[in-house]
Structure 1
């Protein structure tokens, strides 16, 4: 058995270990694509949350992915959905 396969079968690879979530949680400020325009799904969810929270000013279609993610998290906490 190759060395790489042994590590993966022992749970040494965080990408294949379902218990290791360290590679799934990353601060939006560290996203390499954070400055790109928000996705359609982000825009839709942010608009919905901002309307539910009665904070229409929270929706700004010019936001990047990272900023949209932070606003979504903030509105989810305010709405008790987190």
Structure 2
């Protein structure tokens, strides 16, 4: 096998479009998000509001949260709900 073929196969194996099993680029700490400091999205607000009501923790919802903090609170509420 030529070195060009090996290089191409390695490149293809590392490409998440060619190898969907690679999830390293899909899971990122919210603190590392480029847009994490922006206001939470409408979908995040709605979901966080619902989860906080279901958990009887109304203080978990704060409309002033940014995307990263909202994501962390959503994850925590979901984890608490699952036990």
Shorter-chain TM-score: what band? 0.7 to 0.9
Normalised to the residue count of structure 2, the TM-score between the two structures is 0.83
Residue 9 of structure 1, CA deviation:
7.7
Hey, what does 2:81 align to over in structure 1? 79
Select the structure that is richer in helix: 2
Runs (4 or more) in structure 1 with deviation over 6 Å come to none
- The separation in 1 between residues aligned to 2:23 and 2:49, in whole angstroms, is 29
Residue 13 of structure 1, CA deviation:
1.2
Q: Which has the larger radius of gyration?
A: 2
Normalised to the residue count of structure 1, the TM-score between the two structures is 0.84
RMSD: 2.2
Gaps of 5+ in 2: none
How many residues were matched structurally? 78
